[in-house]
């Protein structure tokens, strides 16, 4: 069983489990605490912006959720703790809660082009894990498109948010394709996030068509002011939303998205009026994928909530 993100420098502690928790909590840091067990399996525990998150017992069949108490009770055999960007953490959690359905090796500079073309043709949604030596990372595909906010690789130069260039034309990449499990929180969080990103993109594009780029920039600044006090790592550039935050619970994500859409609705109503804002919200809401729309509705993220 190989390491996740092996190039990331491990955090050295005297009392690994306790000191790791103090480190993550004290710095509001996202990371992973890992224990290798005597039977060859591993247990991992997430810290998400300083708060304890999910924990898993890992085996060949994938990740089995366990409580933080169960994780703490396990012995420390070859412990490892690493700091991670939020995107790396949430994609790793999605991998733990998914099922590996395909494994293969491919070589050549066209590897990513071939994979992305195939998945785009199939309109496939799923997670790819890729490893070349110690380079390791994940990329989420949604309806055949790779997602800018859900792609990260650990390289000798650090984490990057794109596919890394091939080290050698003949070097084989080890690929794992994961099928997501719809009942898991990690997948439901992913669907909700993708729905929010798609809805906001269409909504902001329609708004820009009506009022122009300058008023859209004013709205983007208001959204940045809304996110800043909460330290949400969410940014708006033009009509694009870049959500790089790792929310520990679905309700936390829904709270953040609700606040941002409230800001959109309020600012739009001030400029173009409540009736037209409601129309834009409703028309763009109906254009997102049904699964995403259902996820938004389950959290009361609906047009009527954001327009007067």
Strand partners, 129: 138, 176
Run of H or E residues at 25: helix 16-26
**What per-residue confidence (pLDDT) applies to 139?**
94
**What per-residue confidence (pLDDT) applies to 17?**
64
Where do the structural domains in the chain lie, given as residue ranges?
16-84, 99-179, 185-305
For residue 144 the two structure tokens come to 């055949």
Q: How far apart are the first and last CA of the chain?
A: 55
Average pLDDT over residues 243-256: 96
Average pLDDT over residues 164-180: 80
Answer yes or no: is pLDDT of 12 > 70.
yes
For residue 43 the two structure tokens come to 């247990």
Confidence of residue 13 (pLDDT cuts 50, 70, 90): confident
Quickly count: other Cβ atoms within 10 Å of residue 32's Cβ: 23
CA distance 7 to 234: 26
CA distance 151 to 139: 4
The closest alpha carbon to 138, from 149, 147, 127, belongs to 127
CA distance 220 to 218: 5
Average pLDDT over residues 233-243: 97
CA distance 128 to 176: 6
204 contacts 236 by C-beta, under 8 angstroms = yes
What pTM value is reported for the model? Answer: 0.93
CA distance 150 to 137: 11
Average pLDDT over residues 205-227: 97
């Amino acid at each position: 069983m190989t390491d996740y993100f092996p190039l990331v420098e491990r955090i050295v502690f005297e009392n690994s489990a306790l000191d790791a928790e103090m480190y993550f909590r004290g710095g509001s840091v996202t990371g992973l605490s890992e224990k290798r067990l005597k039977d060859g399996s591993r247990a991992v525990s997430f810290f998400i912006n300083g708060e304890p998150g999910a924990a898993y017992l890992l085996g060949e069949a994938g990740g089995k959720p366990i409580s933080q108490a169960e994780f703490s009770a396990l012995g420390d055999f070859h412990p490892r703790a690493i700091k991670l960007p939020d995107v790396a953490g949430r994609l790793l959690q999605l991998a733990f809660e998914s099922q590996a359905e395909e494994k293969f090796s491919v070589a050549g500079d066209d590897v990513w082009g071939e994979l992305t073309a195939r998945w785009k043709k199939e309109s496939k949604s799923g997670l790819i894990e890729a490893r070349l030596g110690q380079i390791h990372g994940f990329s989420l595909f949604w309806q055949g498109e790779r997602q800018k906010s859900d792609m990260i690789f650990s390289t000798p130069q650090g984490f990057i948010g794109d596919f890394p260039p091939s080290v050698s034309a003949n070097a084989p990449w080890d690929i794992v394709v994961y099928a997501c499990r719809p009942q898991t929180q990690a997948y439901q969080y992913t669907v909700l996030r993708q729905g929010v990103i798609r809805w906001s993109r269409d909504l902001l594009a329609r708004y820009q068509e009506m009022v122009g780029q300058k008023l859209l920039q004013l709205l983007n600044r208001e959204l940045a002011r809304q996110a800043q006090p909460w330290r949400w790592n969410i940014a708006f550039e033009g009509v694009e939303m870049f959500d790089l935050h790792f929310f520990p619970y679905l309700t936390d994500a829904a709270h953040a998205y609700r606040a941002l859409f409230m800001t959109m609705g309020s600012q739009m109503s001030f400029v173009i009026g409540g009736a037209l804002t409601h129309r834009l919200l409703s028309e763009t809401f109906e254009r997102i994928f049904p699964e995403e729309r259902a996820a938004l509705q389950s959290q009361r993220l609906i047009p009527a909530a954001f327009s007067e």
